[in-house]
Amino acid sequence: MKKKRIGAVLYIGICFLFFYLPIVVTMIYSFNSSKSLTRFESFSLRWYENLFTNGEIMNAVYVSVTIALLATAISTILGTLTAIGLSKSRRILKELIINVNNIPIMNPDIVTAISLMILFSSLKMEKGYLTMLLAHIAFCTPYVITSVYPKVRNLDPNLANAAMDLGATPFQALTKVILPMLKEGIYAGILLAFTMSFDDFVISYFVTGNGVSNISIIVYNMTKRTNPTINALSTLVILVIVITLVFVQVIPLLARRKREQGEALAEMGEINEIDGMQKEERI
Amino acid sequence: MKQFVKLVRPYMVWLVVMVIVPLLLIVLYSVTTGGNDLVNIQFTLDNFKKMTEPIYVAVFVKSFQLGLISVGICLVAGYILAYLITLFSERVQGLLILFVTIPMWINTLLRTYAWICLLSDNGIINTVLGLFGIEPVSMMYTDFAVILGLVSDLLPFMVIPIHTSLCKIDHSLHEAAMDLGANRFQTFWRVTFKLSIPGVLNGIIMTFLLSISTFVIPKLLGGGQYMLIGNLVETQFISVGDWNFGSAISVILAFIILIAITCMKRIDKEEIEEE
């Protein structure tokens, strides 16, 4: 059994090396003082300096971040409201919407991308920031719905009625009763939407224009020659994504531990109180 | 309660404008000619006929070939990985699966760029080989580089569904098979593997779909001359400007995907019925 374990660990290790080695190497060479991608000469932040003084790149960072935030906010609101409405809709309508909603998830990115590109040019919309934002909302919202809708289905259908019987307006029933119960699904949706939008290349590449580029497009245009500045940029992007993921995985764990700790402390407090009382009695 | 029904309406409009109409536009473009403006269009099937020209047939054949090879490698490597992960305790499994999923969240473009640093002629692999006195090997712009890029991009999509279906298998079935006299191999082949087939099929379909529609990986690792279906669509829209032909290829691509997804749904349904 033990021998088998060693083999398993070895194989899993090799697979993880395969996944992570290129990423780690890119990160290491972003701190290289020379332009070489093979010889590590000495540690320097030269490429990060380059990065932050390069107006084009900083502009792309601005575009990526603002579009990701806006698209996440809008698609979360749109998706959550739709998911709530969906559970109350007629069966045929529900199935129709869910099926159409699945199209952008199932379709290859490139098909979604060109379909939107054709749409925007048919509408004579100027390609740029706005078209990119609309496209991002279009591909993020379906993911929000697929993560929120199952939670809505698990809700007791009488909850909203109960709240309204007790005098809540429909709006209050929504914000005070239903939304808090969907928290988990909404957080999952936010996470998905943000990372998908922040990371998107294919769709942004086709629907943008007039020099508006996000980080991925800049990287794509710069890869024709290896350039350590891209290493620095991709290190930062990967860090943002990984930190977001770890944050999301770890926060619930920490919260639980805090609660457990709190409970333990409370118990200890009780014991202390009892001790104190006993002492007082003795006095 | 009825008030909430109205909440669906904005999204219905949105879906029509941003999903249904664009798809219809692709179909419309694919069966017409007359430039990219839709002013003087004429219906024709020439765009589909054009695909039977040898250069384009070659592109399709090459895409399927590379797709199948990468899916095959992913299947073997991914199955072993998924199986080995199930040997660990539940806690460790969760952690390992998290490590398998993290690369899925990182942009394909950035991970492919990372491979360039390793594979290029004066890259790290060649430097290491040089230390052992081995002549530098030219790896960039070859099938090898493209397949490597595809496998590293797709492997998680194979591991996750297989791991999910392996986890569902009741452990007492293995014991039962062993008790009834099956040896290790028989137990694996006739019990474990058979029960994990839905996950395997899901993994195969997912990875195959992703592999035939990619254009970033072949472009970066295969070079500008390298043409797969995705690249063909990209060039038609970005550099050549023949939107009609590009749309026709996308329609075919979407059609392949549709068939694959129908298969996937059927597998899931059968699985649910069995349960």
pLDDT, one tens digit for every residue, chain B (275 residues): 566 778 888 999 999 999 999 999 999 999 888 766 666 677 888 888 888 889 899 999 999 999 999 999 999 999 999 999 998 888 888 889 988 988 888 888 888 888 888 888 777 788 888 888 888 788 888 889 999 999 999 999 999 999 999 998 888 888 888 888 888 888 888 888 888 988 999 899 889 888 888 888 998 898 877 889 999 999 999 888 888 899 999 999 888 888 887 887 787 777 666 65
Helix, strand, coil shares of chain A, percent, nearest 5, are 80, 0, 20
Judge contact between A76 and A144, C-beta under 8 A: yes
Between β-strands B42-43 and B32-33, what pairing exists: parallel, antiparallel or unpaired? antiparallel
A26 contacts B113? CB cut-off 8 A: yes
* Closest chain B C-alpha to A99 CA, distance in angstroms: 11
Residue B33: phi and psi, rounded to 5, are: -130, 175
Buried b (16+ CB within 10 A) or exposed e, B161-195: bbbbbbeeeeeeebeebeeeebeeeebeeebbeeb
Å between A60 CA and nearest CA of chain B: 15
Buried b (16+ CB within 10 A) or exposed e, A44-65: eebbbeebeeeeebeebbebbe
A223 vs A168: which has the higher pLDDT: A168
Burial of A216 (0-12, 13-18, 19+ CB in 10 A): buried
Distance CA B30, CA B47 (A): 6
Residues of chain B with C-beta less than 8 angstroms from the C-beta of A111: 26, 213, 250, 253-254, 257
Cα distance from A275 to chain B (closest Cα, Å)?
Answer: 39
Q: What is the pLDDT of residues A30-68, one digit of tens each?
A: 888 887 766 777 888 888 888 888 888 899 999 999 999
Residue of B4, B104, B163 to mutate when probing chain A, most A C-beta within 10 A: B4
Task: Count Cβ atoms below 10 Å from residue A261 Cβ, excluding itself.
Answer: 11
- For residue B273, CA distances in Å to B60, B193, B266, B270 come to 36, 19, 10, 5
Enumerate residues 6+ apart whose C-beta is below 8 A from A237. Answer: A198, A199, A215, B107, B110
The answer to whether B172 and B213 have CB atoms below 8 angstroms apart is no
How far is it, in rounded angstroms, from Cα B114 to Cα A234?
9
ipTM: 0.85
B128 touches chain A (CB under 8 A): no
Interatomic CA distance for residues B34 and B54, integer angstroms: 24
